Structure 1
Amino acid sequence: MSHVAHSEAEDVINELMKLHPKGFDMTLGRMRRLLETLGNPHLKLPPMIHVAGTNGKGSVSAFCRALLEAGGYAVHVHTSPHLVNWHERYRIGRKGEPGQFVEDKVLADALRRVAEANAGQAITVFEILTAASFLLFSEIPADVVVIEVGMGGRLDCTNVVDNPAACVIMPISFDHQAYLGDRVELIAAEKAGIMKKGRPVVIGHQEFDAVHDVFLSHAERLSCPITFYGQEFWAHEEFGRLVYQDEFGLADLPLPRLPGRHQLANAAAAIRTVKAAGFTVTEAMMETAMTSVEWPGRLQRLTEGDLIGLAPEGAEIWLDGGHNPGAGEVIAEAMAGFEERQPRPLYLIIGMLNTKDPLGYFRAFADIAEYVFTVPIRGSEAGLDPVVLANAAYDAGLVAEPASTVAEALKEIKERQLEGTPPPRILVGGSLYLAGNVLADNGTPPK
């Protein structure tokens, strides 16, 4: 039931995957060597906004893009991972209009040139993909570049630009502990590695107080101007509006198009970051950005597509790729908010990778979810067995059972629908890879 089109760039990437190892190997040496062979394209970029954090990186990148495009700027954006097509990682800016995913032949050509420059030396495919973004963004004119860290920060292969216009670090939570450490202070220190001497840093909303001193000490050591959410800038909802305030003033704005209370803080971090990067941000730009921002696979409401008819008539179907305990908490809070406004039984359809913390994720839903179906993830060797995942849900206090596919789970929910009861609210989530599976099967890939 997949609608994914074949592409030349994907053929190139598949060949690269045969040649180079999978997984993570945290170092910058290979990346710097490759970029030097390519003529150091990372030193020829427009002003760059560098985005790190455990959660919210993609959302704040989307808000930054929406703000800058509302001001008429051409904005290149590099994010990862993609949901359906590799091209989603590379959004090419256009003056006076929204950027578009890179054209297939353009991406394939860039990847071939990077691979040729690497000349078969040891490297990871993610490093090649990132080098391709630097190459593309240096060759295609734009006003600004937004680049999202892949993992961590200090040794992430995006961390080769010495003079970013601004850095922003979003909420820290537990993820990738094997690489980044098992304490929030250690994880925060890795994220703080994107800070550069004298360059402004914005710190988004943080759940853990312990990370504040980590960020502050790094910033002071590097003489970085630093602003914290909740201190120098903040946002809250008032009478159905977003009120944003910083040291420059106050703005009364529409609520963000992206649902969930956490998006208020994400929007605020983006506004403050774009200002820190040296761009003038008008209230008109902010208003336009709040209503135009898009970020698929993050509390995305599915209202049409091939999977919709499998669910009970009138059901709400939400898709979210959040996959760690911190993400589980904000998603569960959003679901609870929906429940307050319109009560419905909540069903979860969850797939996760075996590197995640399913118990920590499920605990957030213990008091609000009616039932859980656990499913495999197509296209990943690291998918967690649905039986194991169902047991984790049970340990978190939920009633759960495995299903073979999302489609099967939707059909099962439909069969359980009792006459006279409200249609259910269904959350499909636990992994960006699963979100990609769903968007592909549903025939609604990101655009």
Structure 2
Amino acid sequence: MRDFARSESPAVQHQLDRLGRLSVPDGRLGLATIRALLDRLGNPHLRLPPAFHVAGTNGKGSTCAFLRAMLEAEGHRVHVTTSPHLVRYNERIRVAGELIDDERLAELLGEVLDIGEDLAPSFFEVTIAAAFTEFARVPADACVIEVGLGGRFDATNVLERPAAAGIAALGIDHERFLLAPEEGVPEQPLARIAFEKAGIAKQGRPLITLHHPDDAIAEIERIAAQRGSLLAMRGRDWSSDALGHMLHYSDAKGELHLPVPSMVGAHQAENAALAIALLRHQNMVSVGEEALKAGLRSAHWPARLQRLADGPLTQEHEVWLDGGHNPSAGAALAQHFEGQRLHLVLGMLEAKDPAAIIGPLASNCASITAVPVPDHDYHSVEAFGPDATWADSVPEALARIRKGGLPVLVAGSLYLAGEVLRLNGEFPD
């Protein structure tokens, strides 16, 4: 699978076309290529502001959004790199609070692609090299770095002394890469996933984790001890509970009574608590209680249980959007829509299992409409069960659903979510 990107800027599009032609040879693992590329660029990753490094199967992007909002509420200038982008490639690189502009993006990508052409880097390695190059050049107080895939061999894992690293919710996803046969790694799937995520642990630096199943926690504990990382686990070293309109958090520094996040979904309280724990267990960047409260209220992360605003797709329906595509995401959606009937519009990549979403939502679905995922290989209607129908696009699917009736949930792929946001005129800023 490749990441596709489009831009209205001819200069940026020229570089994105070059990016789109990159591929990673099957079986290539390790950080040698990204290290070589960064070395040619002057090792910018060694000159970054204090960095918060976040891995996880689900929730890592939301955790990063909370971190950014809380840091900025304290008045800090924050660099952020996340993936994938939804509508514009620029979303992957936020420089001191602002999305990178087209002129600088074209220049930066050109520089990285030119200098590393013979190294045959991947799309993501070029992106991270570009982001780190800009982050080292522009002054800021902190960086928020989202892991792309896994952790151990992710291009972001060149960070040597992050302010803190975090592991969000774990689940089975990207099996082809994260469960590939390898000698000396855990055999139990979730333990193997935990092993890969815990690969971001660094000696002497905090590693903060949510509560996970015993097999996963044992693996995280083992890696943290092996690396000499300062492990802080939910349920042992810190705790959080969301009750009513309050998020109660406690650790060795004391108790906090905070508002629940404004982001929709019960699971967002856990992502928010992880962000708070990351900030509270490090000593490089100061963030006070009022900034934590403000960040909980202001954080937003598009295409995660997002109700679409008024636009071309919402003239006749209440439309919800979620990019989730694995069993953990399906469970979160089922929890949010518990007892509520809805129409499901679903598009999924061939590598994903439609049952991950349809199964948990089976009792909710008044109808299931399958749609394509633009620019990617996707499942045909047969994969969505005997009751599913096909539409050639999300607008066509919405046009078939009775007006003014039940809400509509569009889900199954962040790539599809990006197309939906574009069609509705909602561009992440």
Question: Which bracket does the TM-score occupy, shorter chain normalised?
Answer: over 0.9
Partner SS for 2:382: helix
**Number of residue pairs the alignment of both structures matches:** 414
Whole-angstrom distance in 1 between the partners of 2:155 and 2:42 = 17
Instruction: State whether structure 2 residue 402 is matched by structure 1 residue 402.
Output: no
Partner of 1:209: 214
Whole-angstrom distance in 2 between the partners of 1:275 and 1:19 = 40
Whole-angstrom distance in 1 between the partners of 2:301 and 2:19 = 28
Deviates more, 1:51-60 or 1:365-374: 365-374
Partner SS for 1:159: helix
Cα distance change, pair 23–131 in 1 and its aligned pair in 2 (3 A): farther
Which of 188, 192, 195 is matched with 2:194 structurally? Answer: 188
Q: Cα distance, 1:325 vs. partner?
A: 0.6
Instruction: Within 5 Å, give how 1:310-329 maps onto structure 2.
Output: 311=316, 315-329=317-331
Alpha-carbon contact 1:49-1:145 (below 8 Å) kept: yes
Q: Cα distance, 1:234 vs. partner?
A: 2.5
Which letter maps to 2:368? V
Partner SS for 2:365: coil
Instruction: Within 5 Å, give how 1:346-385 maps onto structure 2.
Output: 346-380=342-376, 382-385=377-380
Partner SS for 2:423: helix
Alpha-carbon contact 2:198-2:220 (below 8 Å) kept: yes
Q: Cα distance, 1:358 vs. partner?
A: 1.6
Which of 240, 243, 254 is matched with 1:249 structurally? Answer: 254
Cα distance change, pair 24–361 in 1 and its aligned pair in 2 (3 A): farther
Alpha-carbon contact 1:319-1:429 (below 8 Å) kept: yes
Partner of 1:63: 66
Whole-angstrom distance in 2 between the partners of 1:295 and 1:431 = 15
Q: Which ranges in structure 1 are unaligned for 5 or more consecutive residues?
A: 94-98, 418-422
Alpha-carbon contact 2:22-2:121 (below 8 Å) kept: no
Alpha-carbon contact 1:271-1:281 (below 8 Å) kept: no
Alpha-carbon contact 1:10-1:86 (below 8 Å) kept: no
Whole-angstrom distance in 2 between the partners of 1:215 and 1:18 = 36
Alpha-carbon contact 1:48-1:147 (below 8 Å) kept: yes
Partner of 2:153: 155
Instruction: State whether structure 2 residue 426 is matched by structure 1 residue 438.
Output: no
Deviates more, 1:153-162 or 1:359-368: 359-368
Whole-angstrom distance in 1 between the partners of 2:374 and 2:242 = 39
Whole-angstrom distance in 2 between the partners of 1:212 and 1:269 = 16
Partner of 2:263: 258
Which of 262, 269, 275 is matched with 1:270 structurally? Answer: 275
Partner of 2:182: none
Q: Cα distance, 1:108 vs. partner?
A: 1.0
Alpha-carbon contact 2:86-2:418 (below 8 Å) kept: yes
- Deviation digits for residues 278-333 of structure 1, max 9, x if unmatched? 23332211110111001011111112111111x3xxx4211110110111101211
Instruction: State whether structure 2 residue 26 is matched by structure 1 residue 31.
Output: no
Cα distance change, pair 19–367 in 1 and its aligned pair in 2 (3 A): closer
Partner SS for 1:354: coil
Q: Cα distance, 1:209 vs. partner?
A: 2.8
Alpha-carbon contact 1:159-1:194 (below 8 Å) kept: yes
RMSD (Å) for aligned C-alpha atoms: 1.8
Alpha-carbon contact 1:173-1:326 (below 8 Å) kept: yes
Partner SS for 1:234: strand
- Deviation digits for residues 201-233 of structure 1, max 9, x if unmatched? 000243x33201011111112221111123322
Partner of 1:54: 57
With structure 1 as the length reference, what TM-score do the two structures score? Answer: 0.89
Cα distance change, pair 22–364 in 1 and its aligned pair in 2 (3 A): farther
Partner SS for 1:158: helix
Partner of 2:204: 198
Instruction: State whether structure 2 residue 302 is matched by structure 1 residue 308.
Output: no
Cα distance change, pair 154–121 in 1 and its aligned pair in 2 (3 A): same
Which letter maps to 1:70? A
Alpha-carbon contact 1:320-1:429 (below 8 Å) kept: yes
Q: Cα distance, 1:60 vs. partner?
A: 0.2
Q: Cα distance, 1:362 vs. partner?
A: 1.7
Whole-angstrom distance in 1 between the partners of 2:49 and 2:273 = 23
Whole-angstrom distance in 1 between the partners of 2:25 and 2:394 = 27
Alpha-carbon contact 1:205-1:265 (below 8 Å) kept: no
Whole-angstrom distance in 2 between the partners of 1:76 and 1:434 = 26
Alpha-carbon contact 1:22-1:125 (below 8 Å) kept: no
Whole-angstrom distance in 1 between the partners of 2:45 and 2:300 = 27
Partner SS for 2:155: coil
Whole-angstrom distance in 1 between the partners of 2:211 and 2:419 = 30
Alpha-carbon contact 1:49-1:277 (below 8 Å) kept: no
Q: Provide the identity percentage.
A: 41
Q: Cα distance, 1:24 vs. partner?
A: 8.3
Partner of 1:284: 290
Partner of 1:427: 409
